[in-house]
C-alpha cells in the first residue's frame, strides 16, 4: 500500500514564497535570454568553421604510409585503429589487449518514488499530498534507505559488495602509420564483452565476503541451493578387434562416428563437473554477479559488467602533426577534429556535423524559450498567489497570466533571435528584412491601389451593363 504525507502551507507563507520567487524569475529570464543570444552565435560560428573545413580538407589515400607533404594539412582518411597495450582491472585480475577497458557496476535496490498533488483551499491555504511508492530496480549506486518516508521500507537496502565504475584507455593506439591522440581514442566505440577468467582463489574470497554480507543482513540463509550431483561420463563398451574385423567398412565408419560423438559428450560433462560453482558468485560471459540466484535477484545483489573496445576501422578528420594529429583551427577560432566508426568520406562527415549543429541549435532555442517563459511566470506569479484566497478566481487569473507570459516569452525570444541574426549574420538578416519590407509594401500599398483599381473596374462594368433610361 502506498504511503502518503500531507502538508499544509498557510496563505502568508505562500505569498512570501511567491515574492521571493520574483528574483529567481528574473535570473531565469536573463539566463534564457543569454542562452538564446549565445546559441545563435555558436551555431553561426560552427557552421562557418565546418564550411571552411569542408573546403580545406584533403583525402589521405594511404594512412599506412607517412606522407611528409600532408604535414599541417586537414586530412580525411580511413584505417584500422589498433593497439598492443594490455589493460588490466587490478581489483579483479582480468584484462586484455584492448583500446579501452570498462567496468560498470549496478546494485539491486529499493527505490523511492514521490508524486505530489496540490489543492487550493478557501482562504489561501494549500494542501500538498505526496504519495510514496517503492519498487526494486537496478541502479548505478547504493541507495540510503534510512531516509525513506515510509517506515516500512526504511533500512531495507543493503549491498553484498561495493565497487566503483572504472574506465581506462590504452596510451598507444595506432592508426595506420600514425598515433591517435587521447581525445580521438575516446571516440572509438567498438565495444564488446570481456570474457571473464578470474583466479579461483579470488572467486572464493569474493564468495566468502558476499556470504558474510548476506547473512549479516538476511540472517539465516534463505532456500539454500542444492548442489548438483556429479554426473559420471557415459562409458561406451569397447568392440573387440575380432568382431570389428568381421564388420563392413560402412559399419566401421558408423561405429567410429558414434564413438566420436560419445567422446565429445563425455568431454563436455567432464568440463562441467570440474567447474567450481560458488554459491554467491556467478560468472556468465562478461558479467560477474554477486547474489544467490542471478535469474531471481534479491535486494543487495550486485552486477558488474566488463567491456573492452577492440580494434576497428575508423575514419579520422584532423590536422597532421608529425606522427599524430591535432584539431583544425578555423579563422574564427573554432576548432574541429573528429573520429567516426567505419569508412566515411569527408563530405559525409561535414554534412553529418552540420545536421548535428542544426539539431543542437533548435534544441537550445526551445530550452531558451522555455526558460524565458518560466522566468516571466516566476516574476508575475505573485499576482495569482495573492488571489488564492478565492481559488476559483485565482485559477482563472492564473490561466490568463500563463497565456500572456507564454505569448510575451515567445515574442521576446523571437526578437532576441532576430537581433542576434543582425549581429552574427548581418548580410542575411538585412536581405531577409528587405524582402519582408518589400512584401509589406506590396501588400500594404500596391495591394491597396490594386483593390481601388478592381473596385473602379467593377463600378464601370456595372454601369455598362445597366440599360439606358428612355
pLDDT digit string (tens) for 260-319?
A: 655 655 544 444 433 445 999 999 899 999 999 998 999 999 999 999 999 999 999 999
Average of per-residue pLDDT across 53-72: 94
* pTM exceeding the 0.85 threshold for the entire prediction: no
Give the single-character DSSP code of 344: -
Instruction: Return left, alpha or beta for 219; rule: phi > 0 is left, psi -120 to 50 is alpha, else beta.
Output: left
**What angle do helix axes 391-424 and 11-56 make, rounded to 10 degrees?**
20
Which of 143-152, 233-242, 413-422 is predicted most confidently? 143-152
SS3 call for 142: coil
Which of 298-312, 367-381, 430-444 is predicted most confidently? 298-312
Burial of 470 (0-12, 13-18, 19+ CB in 10 A): exposed
Whether the CB-CB separation of 35 and 27 falls below 8 Å is answered with: no
Between 400 and 170, residue with greater pLDDT: 170
For the chain, what percentages of helix, strand and coil (3-state, to nearest 5) are there?
A: 50, 25, 30
Residue 450's CB is within 10 A of a number of other CB atoms, namely 12
Lowest mean pLDDT segment, chosen from 84-88, 252-256, 277-281: 252-256
Burial of 222 (0-12, 13-18, 19+ CB in 10 A): exposed
Average of per-residue pLDDT across 218-230: 54
Average of per-residue pLDDT across 444-451: 58
| Position 231 pLDDT exceeds 50 | no
| Position 222 pLDDT exceeds 70 | no
Mean pLDDT of the chain: 84
Residue 242: predicted pLDDT: 53
Cell output for 213:
554480507
Confidence of residue 458 (pLDDT cuts 50, 70, 90): low
Which of 92-101, 228-237, 407-416, 434-443 is predicted most confidently? 92-101
Residue 51: predicted pLDDT: 95
Rounded to 5°, angle at Cα 138 from 132 and 139: 80
Amino acid at each position: 500500500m502506498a504511503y502518503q504525507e500531507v502538508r499544509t502551507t498557510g496563505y502568508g507563507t505562500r505569498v512570501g514564497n511567491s515574492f521571493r520567487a520574483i528574483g529567481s524569475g528574473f535570473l531565469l529570464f536573463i539566463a534564457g535570454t543569454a542562452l538564446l543570444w549565445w546559441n545563435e552565435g555558436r551555431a553561426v560560428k560552427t557552421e562557418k568553421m565546418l564550411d571552411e573545413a569542408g573546403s580545406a580538407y584533403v583525402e589521405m589515400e594511404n594512412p599506412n604510409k607517412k606522407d611528409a607533404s600532408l604535414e599541417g594539412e586537414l586530412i580525411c582518411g580511413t584505417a584500422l585503429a589498433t593497439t598492443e597495450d594490455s589493460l588490466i582491472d587490478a581489483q579483479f585480475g582480468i584484462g586484455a589487449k584492448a583500446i579501452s577497458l570498462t567496468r560498470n557496476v549496478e546494485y539491486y535496490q529499493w527505490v523511492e518514488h514521490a508524486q505530489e498533488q496540490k489543492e487550493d483551499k478557501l482562504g489561501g491555504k494549500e494542501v500538498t499530498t505526496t504519495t510514496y511508492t517503492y519498487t526494486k530496480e537496478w541502479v548505478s549506486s547504493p541507495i540510503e534507505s534510512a531516509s525513506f518516508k515510509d517506515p516500512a521500507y526504511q533500512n531495507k537496502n543493503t549491498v553484498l559488495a561495493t565497487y566503483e565504475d572504472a574506465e581506462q584507455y590504452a596510451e598507444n593506439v595506432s592508426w595506420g602509420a600514425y598515433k591517435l591522440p587521447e581525445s580521438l581514442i575516446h571516440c572509438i566505440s567498438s565495444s564488446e564483452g570481456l570474457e571473464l577468467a578470474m583466479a579461483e582463489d579470488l572467486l572464493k574470497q569474493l564468495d566468502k565476503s558476499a556470504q558474510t554480507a548476506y547473512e549479516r543482513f538476511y540472517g539465516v540463509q534463505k532456500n539454500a541451493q542444492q548442489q548438483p550431483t556429479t554426473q559420471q561420463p557415459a562409458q561406451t563398451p569397447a568392440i573387440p578387434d575380432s568382431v570389428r574385423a568381421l564388420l563392413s567398412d560402412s559399419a566401421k565408419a558408423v561405429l567410429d562416428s558414434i564413438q566420436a560423438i560419445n567422446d565429445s559428450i563425455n568431454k563436455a560433462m567432464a568440463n562441467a563437473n570440474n567447474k567450481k560453482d560458488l554459491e554467491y558468485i556467478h560468472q556468465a560471459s562478461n558479467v560477474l554477479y554477486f547474489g544467490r540466484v542471478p535469474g531471481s535477484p534479491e535486494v543487495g545483489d550486485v552486477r558488474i559488467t566488463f567491456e573492452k573496445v577492440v580494434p576497428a576501422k575508423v575514419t579520422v578528420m584532423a590536422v597532421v602533426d608529425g606522427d599524430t594529429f591535432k584539431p583544425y583551427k578555423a579563422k574564427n577560432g573554432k576548432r574541429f577534429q573528429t573520429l567516426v566508426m567505419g569508412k566515411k568520406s569527408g563530405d559525409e562527415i561535414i554534412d553529418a556535423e552540420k545536421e548535428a549543429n542544426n539539431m543542437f541549435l533548435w534544441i537550445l532555442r526551445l530550452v531558451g524559450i522555455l526558460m524565458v517563459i518560466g522566468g516571466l511566470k516566476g516574476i508575475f506569479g505573485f499576482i495569482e498567489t495573492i488571489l488564492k484566497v478565492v481559488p476559483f478566481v485565482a485559477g482563472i487569473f492564473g490561466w490568463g497570466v500563463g497565456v500572456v507570459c507564454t505569448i510575451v516569452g515567445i515574442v521576446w525570444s523571437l526578437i532576441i533571435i532576430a537581433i542576434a541574426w543582425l549581429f552574427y549574420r548581418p548580410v542575411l538578416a538585412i536581405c531577409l528584412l528587405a524582402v519582408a519590407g518589400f512584401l509589406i509594401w506590396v501588400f500594404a500599398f500596391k495591394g491597396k491601389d490594386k483593390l481601388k483599381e478592381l473596385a473602379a473596374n467593377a463600378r464601370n462594368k456595372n454601369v455598362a451593363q445597366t440599360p439606358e433610361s428612355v
